[in-house]
Amino acid sequence: MEHTFFSIIVADDEAELRESMCRMINWEEIGFRLVGKAENGLEALQLTDQLQPDLLLTDIRMPFISGTDLACQVRKCSR
């Protein structure tokens, strides 16, 4: 039987934390496929627009666009 995964993008400006979240969590075991990583809010917005993930895991304080502003922009785009 084929398993359907939800897609996820991880966004954090702290490289070590971002990479740890991507590496240490077994995403597929919990039903997700990691489709992208972003190091700032602008990159996360572009990836989200391009890849249309089911979930965006984001830091609040990031360069260019904060996590809260990012969430608002993503929500507007998905309506």
Q: Could you tell me the sign of the dihedral formed by the alpha carbons of 55, 58, 60, 63, in that order?
A: negative
pTM above 0.85, yes or no: yes
At residue 12, the pLDDT reads: 96
User: Which domains does the chain show, CATH number per domain?
Assistant: 6-77 (3.40.50.2300)
Q: Give 43-76 pLDDT, tens digit per residue.
A: 999 999 999 999 999 999 998 888 888 888 887 7
Q: Give 1-50 pLDDT, tens digit per residue.
A: 667 899 999 999 999 999 999 999 999 999 999 999 999 999 999 999 99
In this structure, what token pair is assigned to residue 30?
Answer: 């919990």
At residue 65, the pLDDT reads: 87
CA distances from 21 to 12, 41, 57, 77 (A): 10, 17, 10, 26
